Chain A
Amino acid sequence: MDFGLLFESYAAVWLNPQVILMTLLGACGGVLLGAIPGMTATMGVALLIPFSFGMDLIPSIGLLLGIYCGGMYGGSISAILIHAPGTPAAAATLMDGYPMCQKGQAGKALSVAMFSSFCGGVIGALVMTFLSPVVANMAMNFGPGEMFMLAIFGLSVIIAISGKSIAKGLISAFFGMLLCTVGLDPTNGIPRFITYKQTGLLDGFQFIPTLIGLFAVAEVIAGVERIVSGEEKQEKSNEKIKKVLPDLGTIKKIWPNILSGGLIGTFIGAIPGAGGDIAVFVSYGASKSASKHPELYGTGIPNGVAATESANNGCSGGAMIPLLSLGVPGDSVTAILLGAFIMKGITPGPMMYISELPTVYRVFAALMMANLAMLIVGCCGVRFFAKIVSVEKKLLYPIILIVSLLGAFSINKNVFDIGVCVAFGVIGWLMNKYEFPLSPILLALILGPMCEKNYVRFMNIQQGNFFAIFRSPIAVVFMAIAVAVIIYSIFNQRKINKRTAEAAE
């Protein structure tokens, strides 16, 4: 670590007005795009890449990182306020964020989300600055077997996010797993449950339309039902938002969640092929398991929001590690960033640390600035975003519906996806009515394909000998943790149910 050079690079980046302006612009755009369901940070980055052609490398990277970090936080805004996760990774924030909003703490939820996002992002950026080579080495050791076990480990969190009934949670999860089997199988391209004529389903149910349907559209249907039956009460935003940042008492309560979330996010983000959407659920499960009051999770407590949002933004730093040091993008946004580097004549990879070290350090500095820019934009916006809650519901629901359907359409520009979105809206609404949790479906949708393709690939490489998995220490560790998590969460759930019953009496 060359600290002189690091300091110099920070100075060069942080004192450059063009970089500052571009990063702030990016963060604004990112927060907005992230907040609109179906518009993801990935899309924002892809759309703005052409605008960055004419710029120098660092301002354009600043712009793109601004969108990336802003989009990560932006997704939580709509998740908290209108039950519509703006990005897949924000779906976990919804579990505690939306209940907080319903309790009239929308402003607090937003400020906790923002503060945790910022801290998580800073943790990610710090790990990236000081531990890149170590983490990159670890990421290199992830092959098909390790990825399969990582996915299994991710699935073990299902119980923790199941709510009251483990059985109902598992039913939801298996339903999600079944959904993953629709479409062309990932290894040999054999059609499952479809014919080749059904082009809309060739790739299976598209993730984002399904997500928007299950959460946003289902909420709209439920809302309309409440309006019709006269149960809907207009929330008046009585909450006075004095400070845009959480107060010291709250920070004291949530800092362990932020720290662990940031680290979990960074490390999962650093594994190519695993990203924020997995990290948030793992972090949520971890913080619930470690908590003295696990029964409060899901009822709207800041700890749940802090755990997911810090993991979410920790990922941005984590995903940059394999991008810069291996040339392997950690997620879809970094895949596009890879293209941006190459266009400027720099090939990320092991050689970059040797031949382009100043550039690497400047990217570190730019990521740090992008996180700060996100915090500034967030602070300016909190008061305003929170007002959405007091918009009259009769007006709000149609807007949510239109934006949601448009978002579902815009992913592939395929009308079929709108149908998928509406169908899952109805399914989500029914499941909510009968108290089946929705988050396990989502986790299964994220992890199912990852499980399947890595399992098949592993078996192909090992010629069908599954026990070869015991030769990989990483895979064995994940397997052991998964078993431990499952056993622990069953006991934990019993404790939770007991306490809830006591509280009810």
Chain B
Amino acid sequence: MKAKRAKRLLSAALVMTMLAGILGGCSSSKESSADASAEANTKTEADAEKEPEAEKEPEAEADASGDDIAYPEKGISVICPWSAGGGTDACLRAFCEALGKDLGVTLTVDNQTGGGGILGHQAIADAEPDGYTIGMITFELATYKKLGTSELTWESYDPLCRVNTDAAAITVNAEWAKSNNITDLASYIEYCKAHPGEVQMGGSSNASVWHIAGGYLMQETGIDIQMITYQEGAATAVQNAASGFIQGVTVSLAEARSFIESGHLVCLGVMDEERNESFPDVPTCKEQGYDITYFTQRGMAIPKNVDPAIKAKLEAACEAAIADADFVDFMKNNGQAISYMNSADYTEYLKQSAEDVANAMDTLGL
């Protein structure tokens, strides 16, 4: 039955490729090459779709032969729960390039989006545990159970490694700060305490990492601020803060970067252990006497019950990929911090952060 489905998908893809061919067949030499690239795209998509189903049998064979790990023998499908072109996608695609070098096969990123990342996260957990479908899990995983949107937790996966973290930062409108004599985190908190419920800060969408960052800030400092949600993402929140519609944002430094550089916004403190390399002048909250660290995280995971030998191989590949020069360069240019943790540490970390996130969500009444 599954083979039938795969066949159907394949034939559908073929028809589409044909149509692309027909449409593009107007045949100047320039166009035929574009045609080829369009066809290549449709093909990779078709591949990604049929892979999870097609890989069943080799896995059974590998099991039968015990510890013999002839893995990987085929391309690996990597599920990304967020859309193409976003931060998670960019990080994952670069990481897959590096992983591919070590494993010697092609890794195809498959964006299964929707439901605030739930659909993709679910697909990773439900994938055939043969090592040929892996995926990237992100911060939002810690919120689903608490929100009641899904039963998924960190326990639904076998975590491989943490790849990246981006810290939240308290960034406010420069004019507003100046007119209220706010120069650092202490004066900001003092102002918020004097004006409870008046200061409005933007995060991104509801129950997203930056929204919860605001809750965490309130919980740790005892201030009362109003969090405004921006379903369309951090960029709009940052723009609204820069134009003074709201007083500030709790998004990452990278997202507020252009307006900090232009002087529209000032960052009062970054919720990280150390200062950000790209912003050496921005102090951490810790330096200012507030022990607040809060960041989003992304890491690789596989479904439960994967052969330990395969898992070990993937873990080793991840460790090698993290140090890959191209990947390091890419992440640096992209303003994303690499913060590797091995499988055991990452598992422990996910457990701890699930509790922290739940507490911060209580503060926000989520």
Q: In the bound complex, do residue B116 and residue A349 qualify as a contact, i.e. CB atoms below 8 Å apart?
A: no
Q: A273 to chain B: which residues have CB within 8 Å?
A: 232, 236
B106 within 8 A of partner (CB): no
With beta carbons under 8 angstroms apart, the residue of A21, A48, A202, A413 that contacts B111 is A413
Question: What sequence of 0s and 1s flags, for each residue 388-422 of chain A, a beta carbon within 8 Å of any chain B beta carbon?
Answer: 00000000000100110110001011100000000
A13 within 8 A of partner (CB): no
Q: Identify the interface centre among A35, A188, A406: most chain B CB within 10 Å of its CB.
A: A406
Question: With the chains together, A92 CA to B98 CA distance in Å?
Answer: 44
Q: Identify the interface centre among A29, A405, A410: most chain B CB within 10 Å of its CB.
A: A29
Closest to B89 in A: A46
Question: What sequence of 0s and 1s flags, for each residue 302-322 of chain B, a beta carbon within 8 Å of any chain A beta carbon?
Answer: 000000000000000000000
Q: In the bound complex, do residue A28 and residue B149 qualify as a contact, i.e. CB atoms below 8 Å apart?
A: no
Q: In the bound complex, do residue A28 and residue B34 qualify as a contact, i.e. CB atoms below 8 Å apart?
A: yes
- If A28-B35, A343-B330, A412-B112 touch, whether A326 touches B119 (CB-CB below 8 Å) is no
Q: In the bound complex, do residue A414 and residue B85 qualify as a contact, i.e. CB atoms below 8 Å apart?
A: no
Q: In the bound complex, do residue B257 and residue A349 qualify as a contact, i.e. CB atoms below 8 Å apart?
A: yes
B348 within 8 A of partner (CB): no
B179 within 8 A of partner (CB): no
The SS class assigned to the A binding surface is helix
Q: In the bound complex, do residue A45 and residue B25 qualify as a contact, i.e. CB atoms below 8 Å apart?
A: no
- If A328-B236, A342-B334 touch, whether A399 touches B15 (CB-CB below 8 Å) is yes
* Contact residues of B between 167 and 213, Cβ < 8 Å to A: 200, 205-207
B354 within 8 A of partner (CB): no
A289 within 8 A of partner (CB): no
Question: With the chains together, A377 CA to B23 CA distance in Å?
Answer: 12
With beta carbons under 8 angstroms apart, the residue of B31, B93, B148, B150 that contacts A28 is B31
With beta carbons under 8 angstroms apart, the residue of A47, A377, A380, A412 that contacts B41 is A47
Q: In the bound complex, do residue B334 and residue A412 qualify as a contact, i.e. CB atoms below 8 Å apart?
A: no
Q: A381 to chain B: which residues have CB within 8 Å?
A: 26
B358 within 8 A of partner (CB): no
Question: With the chains together, A417 CA to B35 CA distance in Å?
Answer: 27
A200 within 8 A of partner (CB): yes
Question: What sequence of 0s and 1s flags, for each residue 2-34 of chain A, a beta carbon within 8 Å of any chain B beta carbon?
Answer: 000000000000000000010011101100110
Q: B24 to chain A: which residues have CB within 8 Å?
A: 28, 32
Q: A352 to chain B: which residues have CB within 8 Å?
A: 258
B245 within 8 A of partner (CB): yes
With beta carbons under 8 angstroms apart, the residue of B20, B116, B200, B205 that contacts A32 is B20
With beta carbons under 8 angstroms apart, the residue of B28, B147, B258 that contacts A350 is B258
Closest to B227 in A: A460
Question: What sequence of 0s and 1s flags, for each residue 113-157 of chain B, a beta carbon within 8 Å of any chain A beta carbon?
Answer: 111101100100000000000000000000000011110000000
B90 within 8 A of partner (CB): yes
Question: With the chains together, A399 CA to B333 CA distance in Å?
Answer: 44
Question: With the chains together, A35 CA to B16 CA distance in Å?
Answer: 12
Give the distance to chain B from A437, nearest Cβ to Cβ, in Å. 28
A189 within 8 A of partner (CB): yes
B238 within 8 A of partner (CB): yes
Question: With the chains together, A51 CA to B24 CA distance in Å?
Answer: 21
A143 within 8 A of partner (CB): yes
B45 within 8 A of partner (CB): yes
* Contact residues of A between 159 and 190, Cβ < 8 Å to B: 184, 186-189
Q: A399 to chain B: which residues have CB within 8 Å?
A: 15, 19
Question: With the chains together, A32 CA to B243 CA distance in Å?
Answer: 40
B30 within 8 A of partner (CB): yes
Q: In the bound complex, do residue A199 and residue B114 qualify as a contact, i.e. CB atoms below 8 Å apart?
A: yes
Q: In the bound complex, do residue B262 and residue A351 qualify as a contact, i.e. CB atoms below 8 Å apart?
A: yes
* Contact residues of B between 228 and 266, Cβ < 8 Å to A: 228-232, 235-236, 238-240, 242-243, 245-246, 257-259, 261-262, 264
Q: A47 to chain B: which residues have CB within 8 Å?
A: 41, 84
With beta carbons under 8 angstroms apart, the residue of B33, B90, B147, B257 that contacts A189 is B147
Q: B119 to chain A: which residues have CB within 8 Å?
A: 199, 412, 414
Q: In the bound complex, do residue B240 and residue A144 qualify as a contact, i.e. CB atoms below 8 Å apart?
A: yes
A499 within 8 A of partner (CB): no
A210 within 8 A of partner (CB): no
Give the distance to chain B from A458, nearest Cβ to Cβ, in Å. 9
Q: In the bound complex, do residue B228 and residue A200 qualify as a contact, i.e. CB atoms below 8 Å apart?
A: no
With beta carbons under 8 angstroms apart, the residue of B13, B89, B226, B334 that contacts A406 is B13
Question: With the chains together, A364 CA to B231 CA distance in Å?
Answer: 31
Closest to B254 in A: A342
Q: A202 to chain B: which residues have CB within 8 Å?
A: 114-116, 118, 149
With beta carbons under 8 angstroms apart, the residue of A28, A345, A385, A461 that contacts B30 is A28
- If A327-B259, A413-B111 touch, whether A406 touches B16 (CB-CB below 8 Å) is yes
A60 within 8 A of partner (CB): no
Q: B34 to chain A: which residues have CB within 8 Å?
A: 24-26, 28-29, 32
Question: With the chains together, A410 CA to B12 CA distance in Å?
Answer: 12
* Contact residues of A between 67 and 121, Cβ < 8 Å to B: none
Give the distance to chain B from A289, nearest Cβ to Cβ, in Å. 30
Interface size range on A against B: 35 or more
B72 within 8 A of partner (CB): no
Q: In the bound complex, do residue A403 and residue B19 qualify as a contact, i.e. CB atoms below 8 Å apart?
A: yes
Question: What sequence of 0s and 1s flags, for each residue 332-358 of chain A, a beta carbon within 8 Å of any chain B beta carbon?
Answer: 100110010011110111111000000
Q: A48 to chain B: which residues have CB within 8 Å?
A: 37
* Contact residues of A between 282 and 318, Cβ < 8 Å to B: none
B38 within 8 A of partner (CB): yes
With beta carbons under 8 angstroms apart, the residue of B85, B111, B366 that contacts A335 is B85
Q: In the bound complex, do residue A402 and residue B115 qualify as a contact, i.e. CB atoms below 8 Å apart?
A: no
Q: A203 to chain B: which residues have CB within 8 Å?
A: 114-116
Q: In the bound complex, do residue A36 and residue B16 qualify as a contact, i.e. CB atoms below 8 Å apart?
A: yes
Q: In the bound complex, do residue B49 and residue A413 qualify as a contact, i.e. CB atoms below 8 Å apart?
A: yes
With beta carbons under 8 angstroms apart, the residue of A272, A351, A403, A410 that contacts B45 is A410
Q: A35 to chain B: which residues have CB within 8 Å?
A: 23
Q: In the bound complex, do residue A339 and residue B229 qualify as a contact, i.e. CB atoms below 8 Å apart?
A: no
- If A32-B35, A187-B231, A339-B85 touch, whether A196 touches B114 (CB-CB below 8 Å) is no
B335 within 8 A of partner (CB): yes
A329 within 8 A of partner (CB): yes
Q: In the bound complex, do residue A460 and residue B226 qualify as a contact, i.e. CB atoms below 8 Å apart?
A: yes
- If A35-B23, A406-B16 touch, whether A349 touches B228 (CB-CB below 8 Å) is no
A493 within 8 A of partner (CB): no
B110 within 8 A of partner (CB): yes
Q: Identify the interface centre among B41, B110, B330: most chain A CB within 10 Å of its CB.
A: B41
Given contacts A273-B236, A327-B235, A328-B235, 10 further A-B contacts (CB under 8 A): A29-B34, A47-B41, A187-B206, A189-B206, A336-B84, A348-B258, A349-B259, A350-B258, A377-B31, A399-B19
Tell me the B residues contacting A by CB distance below 8 Å: 12-13, 15-16, 19-20, 23-26, 28, 30-31, 33-35, 37-38, 41, 45, 49, 83-85, 89-90, 93, 97, 110-116, 118-119, 122, 147-150, 200, 205-207, 226, 228-232, 235-236, 238-240, 242-243, 245-246, 257-259, 261-262, 264, 330, 333-335, 366
Tell me the A residues contacting B by CB distance below 8 Å: 21, 24-26, 28-29, 32-33, 35-36, 42-43, 45-51, 53, 140-144, 184, 186-189, 196, 199-200, 202-203, 206, 272-273, 326-329, 332, 335-336, 339, 342-345, 347-352, 377, 380-381, 383-385, 399, 402-403, 405-406, 410, 412-414, 453, 457, 460-461
Q: List 29 A-B contacts (CB under 8 A).
A: A24-B30, A29-B38, A32-B23, A32-B34, A46-B83, A46-B85, A48-B37, A144-B245, A188-B229, A189-B207, A196-B149, A199-B115, A199-B119, A206-B114, A326-B242, A326-B258, A328-B236, A328-B238, A342-B333, A345-B333, A347-B258, A350-B258, A350-B261, A380-B28, A384-B26, A402-B12, A412-B119, A453-B231, A461-B245
Closest 6 CB pairs of A and B: A349-B258, A327-B258, A28-B34, A350-B262, A46-B84, A143-B245
